[in-house]
C-alpha cells in the first residue's frame, strides 16, 4: 500500500477554517498538524470502506498498523504479506532492518496510529511481546493484548475490545502467529456485559490521566 505524506505545503489546498481529507494510512507530519491547528483546518481521514468501494473493491479493506523491533522484524514482514493477501491495507511503521532498535518507539507509533484513527487496528512485535504490549498501553485509548494462541486472540477481541495485538516472535512459530492474527481480526467485540467492563477500563485510564 502506498503511503501518502501530508506536509505543510499540502494545507494550501484548504481554506482557513476548512477541511482537508487524506487517505487512511497517510502520514501527517508534526509540522503539518501544528500548522493545521493554527489555521483552524480539520484533517479528516477518509473512510476506508468508502474509498475501497470507489476504487472498485467491494470488501472495504481496512488499514492495519504494524510495528516491530529488530527481534520482530522477520515476523512483521511475514504478517505484512498475509495481511496484503487477505485484502487489508498495511501501514508499516518499522523497523525496516535487522539493526538493533528499541521496541517502545515502534509500539508507541502503532498505538498512536490506532488511537488517532490512522489505522483500524494495530500489531506490535518484539522478541517476547511483553515489552511492546506494556509500551503500547501507555498511550491513552490503546488496549494492547499479548496473545499466544487462537483462544487468547478471540478472547482479547470479544471480551476486551483489544485494538492492538502483541506477539512474541521468539515464542511462537510463524504459522501460529498467522493463525492468531487471522482469528484476532475475524473476532468482533461482543459488547453486552463486556462493554460495561471495558468502559470501566476507560474510566480508570481517564481518572489517572488527570493526575
Q: Could you give the residue numbers annotated as active site?
A: 159
What pairs with residue 64 in β-bridges?
90, 121
Strand residues in the chain grouped as ranges (E): 5-6, 19-22, 27-28, 42-45, 63-68, 89-92, 121-126, 144-146, 164-168
Residue with grid cell 467485540, as numbered in its chain = 189
**Helices H, strands E: what count in the chain?**
8, 9
Q: Find the Cα–Cα–Cα–Cα dihedral 66, 68, 73, 76, rounded to 10°.
A: -30
Could you give the CA distance from residue 156 to residue 143 in angstroms, rounded to a whole number? 9
CA distance 162 to 143: 5
Measured between alpha carbons, how far is 175 from 83 in angstroms, rounded to an integer? 14
How many whole angstroms separate alpha carbon 136 and alpha carbon 31? 24
Asked whether the beta carbons of 161 and 145 are under 8 A apart, the reply is no
Amino acid at each position: 500500500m502506498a503511503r501518502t505524506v501530508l506536509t505543510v505545503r499540502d494545507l494550501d489546498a484548504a481554506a482557513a477554517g476548512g477541511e482537508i481529507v487524506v487517505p487512511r494510512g497517510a502520514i501527517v507530519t508534526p509540522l503539518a498538524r501544528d500548522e493545521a491547528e493554527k489555521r483552524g483546518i480539520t484533517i479528516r481521514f477518509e473512510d476506508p470502506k468508502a474509498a475501497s468501494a470507489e476504487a472498485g473493491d467491494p470488501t472495504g479493506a481496512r488499514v492495519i498498523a504494524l510495528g516491530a523491533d529488530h527481534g520482530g522484524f522477520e515476523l512483521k514482514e511475514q504478517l505484512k504479506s498475509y495481511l496484503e493477501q487477505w485484502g487489508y491495507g498495511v501501514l508499516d511503521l518499522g523497523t525496516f532492518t535487522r539493526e538493533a532498535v528499541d521496541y517502545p518507539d515502534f509500539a508507541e507509533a502503532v498505538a498512536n496510529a490506532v488511537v488517532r484513527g490512522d489505522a483500524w487496528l494495530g500489531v506490535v512485535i518484539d522478541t517476547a511481546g511483553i515489552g511492546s504490549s506494556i509500551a503500547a498501553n501507555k498511550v491513552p485509548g490503546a488496549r494492547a493484548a499479548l496473545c499466544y494462541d487462537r483462544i487468547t486472540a478471540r478472547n482479547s477481541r470479544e471480551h476486551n475490545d483489544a485494538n492492538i495485538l502483541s506477539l512474541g516472535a521468539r515464542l511462537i512459530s510463524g504459522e501460529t502467529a498467522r493463525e492468531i492474527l487471522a482469528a484476532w481480526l475475524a473476532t468482533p467485540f461482543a459488547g453486552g456485559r463486556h462493554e460495561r467492563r471495558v468502559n470501566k477500563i476507560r474510566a480508570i485510564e481517564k481518572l489517572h490521566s488527570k493526575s
